Structure 1
Amino acid sequence: MPLNRTPTRELTAKPIQLVSNLKHCSSEPALNDNPTATDPASASRTIKRKRSDSEGLEVFMDEMRTLFKELKNTQAEKIEKLFTAVEEIKSQNYEIRASMEFISQKYDEFKLQLEKLERDHAKSHEYIQSLEEKIDTLERGQRSTCLEIRNIPCNKPETKEMLLKTVTEISRKLNVKMDSQEVKDIFRTKNKDPKKTTVILDLTSVLTKEKVIQMFKKYNKEKPRLSTEDLKLPGPSQPIFISENLSAKMKRVFFLARDFAKMNNFKFCWTSSGKVFLRKTEGEGPILIRCENDIIKLKTTLV
């Protein structure tokens, strides 16, 4: 059986009035837009809150202004100090630059003075060397006729006649004719140790001096070395040495030359006419040594 039924005529003839009998109350529209219409207390709180927020913002802004002002002042002080420090550095740099220029100028002056002194020193050194050579030449000329005789015992008291007698006996042993007229002077050098004293024999002729040296070398080659025993001198037997009387400079050169010859296997080292000579082996030419620099140069050539 269907549920839908056709309404009756009474129901369809008179329409139903639902809202005609309802009473309307006056009310404020947009309740949400006006909170004070419903709650006065809430409205007052809202107004207070807005005022407090604006006051807090003002306080915050004042604090920020104060903070920025202090920061600005602090930055200004720092910038001022930095500027002052930069100015001081500039001033110091200027002073340093001025000092460096002054030092550089003085350095150039000292350098020029030093170069001048070096030139003067070089000239003085050359002049001194030339004077030394002249003095050595004069000294070698004075000693050109002199002989050194070593290891002759010293007798006290000792006279020139006693020394002359010993020299005459030496010339007889060497087979060299020598009389008292050929002896210009004879004396013994002074030394703290009497055993190291040397007898200086000054002859009248260079030829006689060279003859004595030549015969002395020949005697030692052909016979046992000449000694005090051969001359019948008192004391233990000692070998007799006869050589040229060199100048102080050439004695030093001769000492260095002998040492150089031993260290570098040079077979010969001798003196002649107050000069020093070296020879490596037999058959090679002699090397004249005039000064210490010649030995130094010779060392460099052997390296």
Structure 2
Amino acid sequence: MNCEACRKKITGDEVLRCTQCMKQYHFVCLNLTPAYYKANLGELRRSWMCPLCINITRRKGNNCNTPIRQQQANMDDSNMSSTSSASITLDQFSRLLDSKLDTKLDSFQKVLTETIRKEVSDQIARLKSEFTTTTDFLAEEQKDIRTELGTATDRIRKLEDEKMQLQTSLSQINKTVQILDKSSRNCNIEIQSVPEKRSENLLQALKKLCEVINCTISESDIKSIRRVAKLNPSSDRPRNIIVSLHSELHRDTIISAVRRFNRTNKSCPLNSSHLGFLGEKCNIYVSEHLSADCKAVHAAARHWAKTNQYKFVWVKYGRVYIRRDEESTAILVRDTDSLSKLTCSKPV
């Protein structure tokens, strides 16, 4: 229930109800002091009338005995000076103003609270909507990335499989090429350090060499004879001579004859003077026509043997062997990596 004067909700026992119209008022809004209200509470509840009903009663008859009139008469008797009467009026006005301000403040606080709550709710809803949109977008992007990543992973796996297959095929091709290369050289011999001349006759030089080592060979046994380019163009050594024969037997016959000659003439092994070249002597070497890989293994084996006091290094049928001394077992050197597994004391 609200007060008919200030329209503010009535709480507690600060209410007065009109005995005529039954409308309710704060006793403060009726300019009654708390002391007077408490002292005359019983009488007020039995006979008090609101100002509207008092005006109606005045038009019908005398209303001098109402509690308000009596209170005003008592107040007029006890307050003789106009200054005291004015002070009470200002105090009452102050209380009424405070009451109005409180009412307005409460109303303003409610409106402000509702406005803030609504604005915050709207902002939260907007943020939720934006966050939902963002998360949906990120989820979709993540899904696309996962799909692309899965596709890339499958492609990488396929490429790795293809790489393994290609490496296997390449390894097989390299082995085949090495076999074919070796096979193409099986009937060849390589003669090193033969001095070069502008108008040289290599066939006559080969015949002279075979005559020196006491090895009989005819021109029909020779398919071709030629010099080959140097691996190192800056080297001052003569270009090597490659002799292609019709069979491996002819190759082995010439190489064996050279070895016998060198063993017999250790003090003067086969050299340029034996072939009729004047000037400084240089040793001449006759060996199998080796591939580049085999030559690299042979060179590495010679260096390793010299460092580790191994006496013998030789090539037979395209394979490199080393041996410590005459009584030791021959060791096959398959590649340069196998040299690292060998020791001076115990070959493996």
Which residue is 1:16 aligned to? none
For residues 325 and 126 of structure 2, what CA distance do their matches in structure 1 show? 87
For residues 207 and 190 of structure 2, what CA distance do their matches in structure 1 show? 14
- Contact 2:191/2:241 (<8 A) preserved: yes
- The structure 1 residue matched to 2:136, chosen from 80, 91, 96, is 91
**1:43 counterpart letter in structure 2:** I
Which residue is 1:9 aligned to? none
Seen in structure 2, the aligned counterparts of structure 1 residues 53 and 194 have a Cα distance that, compared at 3 Å, is closer
Deviation, structure 1 residue 271: 0.4
For residues 325 and 134 of structure 2, what CA distance do their matches in structure 1 show? 76
TM-score, structure 2 normalization = 0.63
Which residue is 1:178 aligned to? 216
- Contact 2:228/2:241 (<8 A) preserved: yes
- The structure 2 residue matched to 1:188, chosen from 212, 224, 227, is 227
In structure 2, stretches of 5+ residues that fail to align are 1-34, 37-70, 344-348
Provide the secondary structure at the position in 2 that maps to 1:97.
helix
1:58 aligns with 2:100: no
Per-residue CA deviation, residues 179-222 of structure 1 (Å, 9 max, x unaligned), is: 545751433334567843122344562442232232243145x2
TM-score, structure 1 normalization = 0.70
Seen in structure 2, the aligned counterparts of structure 1 residues 101 and 298 have a Cα distance that, compared at 3 Å, is same
For residues 274 and 122 of structure 1, what CA distance do their matches in structure 2 show? 25
Per-residue CA deviation, residues 74-118 of structure 1 (Å, 9 max, x unaligned), is: 312330232023202321332133124303421342144124303
Provide the secondary structure at the position in 2 that maps to 1:196.
coil
Seen in structure 2, the aligned counterparts of structure 1 residues 151 and 65 have a Cα distance that, compared at 3 Å, is same
For residues 285 and 308 of structure 2, what CA distance do their matches in structure 1 show? 25
- The structure 2 residue matched to 1:139, chosen from 184, 201, 219, is 184
Deviation, structure 1 residue 135: 0.6
1:228 aligns with 2:280: no
Which residue is 2:240 aligned to? 198
Deviation, structure 1 residue 230: 4.6
1:149 aligns with 2:149: no
- Contact 2:215/2:257 (<8 A) preserved: no
Deviation, structure 1 residue 275: 2.0
1:101 aligns with 2:146: yes
**1:178 counterpart letter in structure 2:** T
Deviation, structure 1 residue 55: 1.7
Per-residue CA deviation, residues 133-164 of structure 1 (Å, 9 max, x unaligned), is: 431342133x3xx332222221222234xx52
Seen in structure 2, the aligned counterparts of structure 1 residues 89 and 266 have a Cα distance that, compared at 3 Å, is farther
- Contact 2:189/2:289 (<8 A) preserved: yes
For residues 110 and 257 of structure 1, what CA distance do their matches in structure 2 show? 45
For residues 41 and 210 of structure 1, what CA distance do their matches in structure 2 show? 149
Q: Say which is worse superposed, 91-100 or 192-201, in terms of deviation.
A: 192-201
User: Percent of counterpart pairs with the same letter?
Assistant: 21
Q: RCO greater where, 1 or 2, for CA within 8 Å and sep 6 or more?
A: 1
**2:122 counterpart letter in structure 1:** E
Which residue is 1:296 aligned to? 337
Deviation, structure 1 residue 132: 1.7
Which residue is 1:274 aligned to? 318
Deviation, structure 1 residue 48: 0.7
Seen in structure 2, the aligned counterparts of structure 1 residues 242 and 137 have a Cα distance that, compared at 3 Å, is closer
What are the equivalent positions in structure 2 for 1:18-33 lying under 5 Å apart?
A: 33=36
Seen in structure 2, the aligned counterparts of structure 1 residues 179 and 106 have a Cα distance that, compared at 3 Å, is closer
In structure 1, stretches of 5+ residues that fail to align are 1-31
For residues 71 and 266 of structure 1, what CA distance do their matches in structure 2 show? 98
- The structure 2 residue matched to 1:257, chosen from 301, 310, 314, is 301
What are the equivalent positions in structure 2 for 1:10-21 lying under 5 Å apart?
A: none
**Aligned Cα RMSD in Å?**
3.2
For residues 145 and 176 of structure 2, what CA distance do their matches in structure 1 show? 45
- The structure 2 residue matched to 1:217, chosen from 243, 262, 265, is 262
For residues 244 and 169 of structure 1, what CA distance do their matches in structure 2 show? 19
Seen in structure 2, the aligned counterparts of structure 1 residues 179 and 97 have a Cα distance that, compared at 3 Å, is closer
For residues 89 and 275 of structure 1, what CA distance do their matches in structure 2 show? 71
For residues 307 and 121 of structure 2, what CA distance do their matches in structure 1 show? 83
